[in-house]
Structure 1
Amino acid sequence: MSSRTPRRRPAWAGRNYTLLTAAAVITGLGHSGAMIAAAFAVLQCGGDGTDVGLVAAARTVPLVVFLLIGGAVADRLPRHRVMVTANAATCVSQGAFAVLVLSGDPQLWQMALLSALGGTGQAFFAPAAEGMVLSTVSGEQAGRAFAFFRMGMNGANIGGAALGGALVATVGPGWVLAVDAAAFAVAGGLRAFLDVSHIPARVRRAGLLHDLRDGWREVVGRPWLWSIVCQFAVINAVVGAAEAVYGPLVARDHLGGAGPWGLALAAFGAGTVCGALVMTRWKPDRILLAGTLSIFPLALPSAALAVPLPAPALTAVMLVAGVSVEVFAVTWMMALHQEIPEEKLSRVSSYDWFGSVAMVPVATALSGPAADVFGREAALWGCSALVALLTAAVLTVPDVRRLRRRGDAGTGSAPAKGGVAGASEPCEPPAGASESTGSPARP
């Protein structure tokens, strides 16, 4: 009988990876419920739908404004310290929000101010976290590691939303916000124990603006990167508008109300978990080609709402869309991990995040007027067409079709001048390219 003790976790799931995954699950459980709690806190205090939107916008605006600065800061300072500081800021803001709500008479401006503080924290946290996750794994198992990370995160978001909704109904929004504050405190504690000894010390640079320009050159010098970031700037915006504005209206008029629409959204969330599970096994060779092709099904939900399909069919479509989005998300993380130098991950990630969120408020605000001018059905078909057309356009970029997975590649192993290593055909380095590239756009 062998005397060796069985390994309790896979070899690729190292200490940092395990801590980051655990922290992401904890904050996902807390924060998904807190988003629901914040909306009901506003309503509980006599606010209306406009007030709910103002508090939500108060979080989004600083997120957009400070993202690029957050990425540059995270590449200048130890990322884990930026993450812990951002978690502390969010803990304080959510804790104060909870105290205000539990005290019984919060003012709208106070809730908006605290939401803005939370959004600022997220602007600094997101690029630092992206860079830290990408730097924790290497080699052939990177795709599997990213898939498991996203599966845990997506599962926590689904469970947190369900649990948070139930707790808001039973104990009230204030206590749910307090739980979220505690979750960020615990997650910040876990992230404080990250081992960064393997990461080279940051070299002093000319200044923050220099770093921002350097990150911009990384993005624009790589056609596969900027084309997909631009693609998702629009796709995220139109899909967000369809789900946030048109979906509830179609559900009210044709599907029987909020219940069927909630089930469809839950199916999308379940699809993301299934997609991550698929990516723990599937290792596509041409990672961006596989990921980009998987985006075509994201055009289906808007088309299903335009018809509109019955609730069961819509739920099935949303499940497929969730699977396809997650396939893209994992392949995108693989591309960034493979092609971007470690010391530039956060800056590139901040441009990706900026592209992912900047147009969402604009599209949401314009969705109502667009439906008034063109009709809701035509607006939904337009959303679907934009997803399909932009995805097809990205496939015309040679580097998107050629970029191959390098099983033995670690972070930042791309060639120094922006060519796509491992491509089936040589790629001319684009003018003005610096080194490598990357960071995941979020459908």
Structure 2
Amino acid sequence: MHHYEVNFDGLVGPTHNYAGLSYGNVASLSNAKSTSNPKAAAKQGLAKMKALHDMGMVQGVLAPQERPDVTTLRRLGFSGSDAEVLTQAAQQAPAIYHAVCSASSMWTANAATVSPGADTVDGKVHFTPANLTNKFHRSLEPQTSGRILQAMFNNSRYFEHHLHLPDNEHFGDEGAANHTRLCRNYGHAGVEIFTYGRSAFNPNIPAPQRYPARQTLEASQAIARLHGLSDENTVFIQQNPAVIDQGVFHNDVIAVGNQNVFFYHEDAFLDKESKFAEIQRKFGDDPIHFIEVSSSEVTVEEAVQTYLFNTQLITLQDGTMAIIAPTECQEHPRVSAYLAELVTRDTPIRQVHYFDVKQSMRNGGGPACLRLRVALNDTELAAVNPAVMMSDELFARLNQWVDKHYRDELSIADLQDPQLLSESRTALDELTQILKLGSVYPFQR
């Protein structure tokens, strides 16, 4: 039996734009209001998916959300035809209007938390969509994310889907961006590490002062319960509030793990020594490679600028590991020097591959944000909807689809064009046929 870690990357939606919606995400705010290129963004994402497929990785595609979100505008009291709803909202409440046009579902690390069958009490792969309550524009995603995941993993024998946690700050949950898993191999029971920023019910646990902590301890604990994880394969670790206040809004901006490697910044966590000892104890006898980057090597600010830790750490077919990094890391002298030195060390990490994902980076998300990891065995993989799995044919088909439906340029003013809604829906309707998802979008239901 083979075991795989499959990466499902988010396909960038037709309304990809820079509205600067994310307080606490430095990259997002610094590019607010500039003109975006949806076609280039979608093609950059597809090129990364195809490159990983060509490197021998199993790669899938996660469909984007319907934007602008007219259903939400109607819930908020705007009425009339769809075009009238858009015009009213754009004129009367531009900030809300920009939020319902958000392209942020492309970052599928926030789509859900996934626990593989090797870790769960019933042996099924468990999915819980993230509620993303901290940001209004992202809190619009969980229902559609859940429907898309159910259409992709549509076999109750192997896959268990949960409703997202209550839509409330007390159970703020940001999905896999605050969750990583270490294991000997993908089929072996692993240690699931849940990183939280604050506690909702215990005022004695420290919290950041400047930017919000989006993940609560209580949300992480609830997901571990829902997924049927035991105390022996879970560790709850707190992110350092001081780095959240420096723009580290998710743990995947400051740490990444894969199999027996945990790669992180020295300032990433609170109570590091005891928590790392707990991780090693629960992992078992094989030593974990804890690769710590010191501030003297790369500062937190440089890590946020380049997304050094928002890289993918993948196991290649020969058993060695590679880092999939954005070109921003390559262009930064200190970060590229660090990575060049890292691959010479005695660790499983032997290669670095750089990818241009600038359209995503400008909105505040790097290679790791763009993917949701799902560990599967042969039988489970065979039960996944085959139409969402990357292949030469699907790559060509999706590029044609993007060429046909996407605009080259999109400014914030263009979002008010009612024609964009109709273009977007036409594109998504066709996409659900290509990926054989059925009716997952509100306009199709």
Normalized per residue, which structure has more helix? 1
TM-score (norm 2): 0.28
TM-score (norm 1): 0.28
**Greater Rg, structure 1 or structure 2?**
1
Normalized per residue, which structure has more strand? 2
